Structure 1
Amino acid sequence: MIRTTCVLLSSLFLLSSAFAQEADTPRRINQAIFNKIEYHFNQQETDSIYALGSPKFKQSLSLQAFQTVMSQQLYPLGQIQSAELKNYEKGTGIYKLNFISTPLQLVLGLDSLNKIDVFLFQPYAGDPAPEKTPPTESGNTSASKFDRYVDSVALSYSRKGHTHALAIGIINAGKTSGFYYGETETGNKQLPDENTLFEIGSVSKTFTATLLAYFTQLQQVSLDDPITKYLPDSVAANPDLQRITLMQLANHTSGLPRMPDNIEASAASNSLDPYHGYTKEHLYTYLKSYKAEIPPDSLYQYSNLGFGILGDILSTVYGKPYDEMVKEIICQPLGLKNTTEHPNPDSQYVAKGYNEKGAETPLWTFDAFTAHGSLKSTVSDLLLYAKAHFKMPETDLEHALALTRQFTYFNPPDTDIGLAWHMNVVGDELIYWHNGGTFGSSSYLALTPDRKMAIVVLSNTAEPVDSVALAILKYMLK
């Protein structure tokens, strides 16, 4: 048992601009600090945890004593597989920590200055018995009210005049719901359904990050490996690449730009299909002459290029193309039947894409950038994918999914980053999310494992669906 006093991290979870209207609450701050502690614990970064201590804490417990307690009593339990806030009252949160062998609970208390005042590990006390609730009225009025709200938000999107199909999937309170609007092609009068495929764009990055986490779980790679370890010698010789790690590709801190500057000059460049024809040879040519303007790990800079490189490296490690990796490692174990880079036209229907003016536009071909945005998927598959994040990790894949949600970088003033996932606190809940878009689609996926809640919004129009998803998500979290 440990009872110590620690200091609040100087950089708390801050909200993205999308969530800027949400006011900070003591519970939210408590959860934000816990997430920092969880990350350092799982990395066994004892010095980093100790560095959070207040002067009073450091006077009462030396670094050597703290290291002894952590290394002899706590780290032998292994990593925290998942955690859940079980109770919060008067500035103190009680968290259930799931280890492989046995759960513990952490009592985490903050003082009036938001410094950690209580840091107490205990045997887990167990879940309280559920309170009895009166019978609900017939008619399912609460569900109907929610359905009407979803309709109102969705119809405001669908009635803009240039939008087409809109598909929404929701997991909430143990129930899975689907809402479908518009038409999959102009004039066909055909609603989308749970099995209609859409381009999901950069939501694909979460699948790529899962592949990286999976190979990390199997110890085939390390997150801290330099990328030059997996690149051809002629490319790896570039000193400006040698400080970039696999993790920095996955959390957008590599310093690499959003796009390589030679993509428009590639022979087959197409203004409506911008990645088509950009090959591995083009990519390696760019990397050989790359000059870093931003040092790695110094700044969050969203990079499609970084994920293109990551996908190339993972394909080298696995010995198969990206689409086959996704199918064999993620889709088959999770039962995702319609998530693919290359849909079968005889058995899988992909909604046609329309640009921001409502004109039809081709689906994208990604070539060397396949790992950053090439996947097509459905509401049904993405909800199954979200549900897999709710499980207590047992398999290598489930451990990989959990690893993608571990904090890796703080990006003030917007959001925290895992592996691909963006992380924000909405209300009192930690939300993992990613959006995506092509010239003919828009997508959004968000989930909160603690509440076993998720939302998927897919459109075949290049009109962002973020506002639709966020409005519904905030309603769900009331």
Structure 2
Amino acid sequence: MLASRIFSRFTTLALTVCALGANPARATDLALQDAVSMAGMQLYLNSGAPAVIIAVVRGDETVIQAYGETAPGSGVEPDENSIFRIASVSKVFAGDVLASLAAKGRVKLTDPLAKYAPDNARVEVNGRPITLLDLATHSAGLPRELPNPDAKPSDNPFSAFDRAYYWKWMGSHKPAYVPGTTTLYSNLGFGLLGDALAKAGGADYSTVLANEVLKPAGLTDTANTLTDAQKKRLMTGLDPFGKADPNAPAPDVMYASAGIYSTGADMARWMRWHLDGAKQAQEAFTLDHALWLPYDGLKSVVGTEVTDADGMGLGWVVTLPRNQTPLLLGKSGGLGGFMSYAVLSPNRGLGVFVVASRVNFAMFGNIHSQVRELAAELAR
């Protein structure tokens, strides 16, 4: 009885690459499909979430599988076009933008943040200036969050995050540590990085993101704001207390840190774009996939997924090969009723993305370990 109830609540969507525009003659790898199916079911059962979607890219193959319901009690199964928030996985998209602009010579990773500050704004220093690379590696010595204490009460919890206050605060507060000497996870830092990238790109951040990442990667359902048609496909996520999250809109200063919505199909395309770029040794991806800040020798490492990791890339947490697990670039997120985790192994042509429609921070470690175990299995 239990098994029948479980299997009645999920659907499996095994998509060959031809569904994403590649060779229609190639059949799906059944062993890959089976491994993803087993991992996805385990993630779904362990998460307590209404739905789980997993997307895996390996070589020429893509598998996307979905489990559960788009909203509790709806009876509607999710699919590769169901929309969700990727939360802080948005940070590695900002890293993509930074790498792309750097490869084109429009920025340098070592550019000081002050170069991209608004007119008449200043940036305090501690030992040396904060650079774009410091922001991208969480080593600028900035707080995790910076709500404006003068923000008016609102039903939107994100309304307290204000661009003008960010820059005003930066002009009167020194970084807590000399930049580059410690990691301290900072959504504030990525908000400032998004502003710098927008200025360097000559447009608002969403436009620069689209020009440098979304369009080149062929992403059609990935954005910081949704159309009315897309809102109909948005899944319902649960907050840490098991209540439906109201899906409050994020202000644009949060776009680079946690603003993006996407789908399983688009996340698969994005991972393939990364893997193809790495295979072709394109400069932007060489920059994007590098280990820029080893943890070894830092004074402190806080909040950047330090377990089994070795350092920071451009938003990525980098784990060097060990115990049959390949080199991995990983990034997790939790916001707006969704937990997400993306892992790339460029050397093995492998990418894994998982999203669960419930924020349960106690499950982060479990999701990490299961995804890494799957990556090790598929990389053999």
Distance 1:147 1:246 in 2: 37
Q: Would the alpha carbon gap of residues 471 and 189 (structure 1) be closer, same or farther in structure 2, given more than 3 Å must change?
A: farther
Distance 2:169 2:161 in 1: 11
Q: Is the 8 A contact 2:123 2:170 kept in 1?
A: no
TM, length-normalised to structure 2: 0.80
Which letter maps to 1:157?
N
Which letter maps to 1:377?
S
The one-character-per-residue Cα deviations of 1:268-299 (angstroms, maximum 9, x if unpaired) are 455x7432242221112211211232111111
1:251 deviates by: 0.7
Asked if residue 290 in structure 1 is aligned to residue 185 in structure 2, the reply is no
Alignment partner, residue 416 of structure 1: 311
Q: Is the 8 A contact 2:237 2:244 kept in 1?
A: yes
Q: Is the 8 A contact 1:215 1:221 kept in 2?
A: yes
Local SS of the residue matching 1:275: helix
Alignment partner, residue 466 of structure 1: 368
Alignment partner, residue 373 of structure 1: 258
Q: Which has the larger radius of gyration?
A: 1
Distance 2:377 2:84 in 1: 25
Asked if residue 406 in structure 1 is aligned to residue 297 in structure 2, the reply is no
Alignment partner, residue 135 of structure 1: none
Q: Calculate the aligned-residue CA RMSD, in Å.
A: 2.5
Among 42, 46, 49, the alignment partner of 1:153 is 42
Q: Would the alpha carbon gap of residues 151 and 298 (structure 1) be closer, same or farther in structure 2, given more than 3 Å must change?
A: closer
1:477 deviates by: 3.7
Asked if residue 323 in structure 1 is aligned to residue 199 in structure 2, the reply is no
Asked if residue 174 in structure 1 is aligned to residue 60 in structure 2, the reply is yes
How many residues are treated as equivalent by the alignment?
A: 332
Distance 1:198 1:477 in 2: 27
Local SS of the residue matching 1:177: strand
Q: Is the 8 A contact 2:126 2:179 kept in 1?
A: no
Q: Is the 8 A contact 1:266 1:282 kept in 2?
A: no
TM, length-normalised to structure 1: 0.64
Query: Which consecutive unaligned segments of at least 5 residues does structure 1 have?
Result: 1-139
Q: Would the alpha carbon gap of residues 395 and 320 (structure 1) be closer, same or farther in structure 2, given more than 3 Å must change?
A: farther
Q: Is the 8 A contact 1:276 1:364 kept in 2?
A: no
* Greater relative CO, 1 or 2 (CA 8 Å, sep 6+): 2
1:467 deviates by: 4.1
Alignment partner, residue 228 of structure 1: 114
Alignment partner, residue 445 of structure 1: 342
Alignment partner, residue 352 of structure 2: 455
Query: Which consecutive unaligned segments of at least 5 residues does structure 2 have?
Result: 1-28, 297-305
The one-character-per-residue Cα deviations of 1:184-242 (angstroms, maximum 9, x if unpaired) are 11221111111111110111111111111111112121111111111135432634496
Local SS of the residue matching 1:391: helix
Local SS of the residue matching 1:390: helix
Asked if residue 164 in structure 1 is aligned to residue 50 in structure 2, the reply is yes
Q: Is the 8 A contact 1:364 1:438 kept in 2?
A: no
Q: Is the 8 A contact 2:148 2:160 kept in 1?
A: no
Distance 2:213 2:268 in 1: 14
Distance 1:346 1:361 in 2: 20
The one-character-per-residue Cα deviations of 1:61-94 (angstroms, maximum 9, x if unpaired) are xxxxxxxxxxxxxxxxxxxxxxxxxxxxxxxxxx
Distance 2:190 2:100 in 1: 16
Local SS of the residue matching 2:121: helix
Distance 2:284 2:216 in 1: 13
Alignment partner, residue 186 of structure 2: 303
Alignment partner, residue 15 of structure 1: none
Distance 1:188 1:145 in 2: 27
